[in-house]
Amino acid sequence: MGDPSIPTSDPRADYLAHRSELDAAIRSVLEGPTYILGEHVARFEEAFAAFVGSSHGIGVNNGTDAIHLALRALRIGHGDEVITVSHTAVATVAAIRMSGAEPVLADVDPLSYNIDPEAVRPLITGRTKAIIAVHLYGHPADLTRLATLCDAHGLRLIEDCAQAHGAMHGDRRVGSFGDLSTFSFYPTKNLGAIGDAGMVVTKDADLALAIRRLRQYGWDTPQYSLVEGWNSRLDPLQAAILTVKLRHLDRSNERRRELAARYLRELADLPILLPVTLPGVHHVYHLFVVRTRDQGTRDALLAHLNAGGIKAAVHYPTPVHLQPAYRELLRTGPMTVTEELARTVLSLPLQPALTDQEQDLVINAIRAFFRSRP
């Protein structure tokens, strides 16, 4: 069979929807005087920090680097521990390892699928220096309880907002709570570039300065390295594109919520668990993730949809702590919920460009699958 007719996500759709604006932005970079950093990067950093409700934005090469540099700026490294989750993209854990610190993995909440503060508590030791809260699938983590836990133990809070651009906890956007917060602009994200790109945001001017140095060889002034650093600069072409897309982000997130509401309504009578939005948060549905009663049902439903030209996917089929590169290296708590999710979750197509007619095809295919089963 050829490429699926209904993809899980389609980053080309954003370009087609805003082609004239994006073409003009690309030309402005190509015709401008600076191809490294420069005004396009500075403009996007300022706009995105304001959007989040923070004070400083520092553009970097990708979301993994954003986490790595955040840890470096906090002077977290060898001998330190950082608590996060195993039910996440591997980048979160990889970035901790890059810093020299040891990842310690906690189980997730069975409703939001985010880090469970009660699972974190027994993992804290004298070596623990930070908690990284991943806002998975577009649903904010429990920032109130996590901040209380950090305050009680003298820990730093880092928000991994790679899947939650524009999500809200109470009346504030995610990214405005942590000591440092990180974003990925991978092409399929709610706010996506046309390649890799990332951002660190913070309200702390000293931490912002540290990140700016670290992203460019540790330079205090050009060609003068005050500290050891890296090459992790946001490309001005990506910055110009993201500046355009940022203007449309709230509307595209609202379309995601409209599509999610249709799924929730039309699939409510089927024997699957639908995503829950906990009180006091604004979900932006980076992914629409359902759960089946067992792995056999999940795998059969996935095969059924893919055979019909509907590209469903699994996020994530193997928890980080069970992957060969990490399973002998990581300390974890009990992983009951995490491992159950790996067996039963399924991501349905959801993106702003998905039409109601296409979504009806997905819904009807799922209903047909369950009608055919005993």
**Cis-peptide into 316, omega within 30 deg:** yes
- Measured CA to CA, the distance from residue 262 to residue 254 in angstroms comes to 13
Helix (H, G, I), strand (E, B) or coil at 138: helix
* Cβ-proximal residues to 30 (8 Å cutoff; 6+ apart), any chain: 237
CA distance 23 to 207: 35
Whole-prediction pTM: 0.97
State residue 274's pLDDT score.
99
What are phi and psi for residue 56, nearest 5 degrees? -135, 135
pLDDT in tens, the chain (374 residues): 344 589 999 999 999 999 999 999 999 999 999 999 999 999 999 999 999 999 999 999 999 999 999 999 999 999 999 999 999 999 999 999 999 999 999 999 999 999 999 999 999 999 999 999 999 999 999 999 999 999 999 999 999 999 999 999 999 999 999 999 999 999 999 999 999 999 999 999 999 999 999 999 999 999 999 999 999 999 999 999 999 999 999 999 999 999 999 999 999 999 999 999 999 999 999 999 999 999 999 999 999 999 999 999 999 999 999 999 998 989 999 999 999 999 999 999 999 999 999 999 999 999 999 999 87
Q: Where are the domains of the chain?
A: 12-106+113-246, 249-371
CATH placement of domain 249-371: 3.90.1150.10
Can you name the CATH fold of 12-106+113-246? Aspartate Aminotransferase; domain 2 (3.40.640)
Contact yes or no for 310/349 (Cβ under 8 A): yes
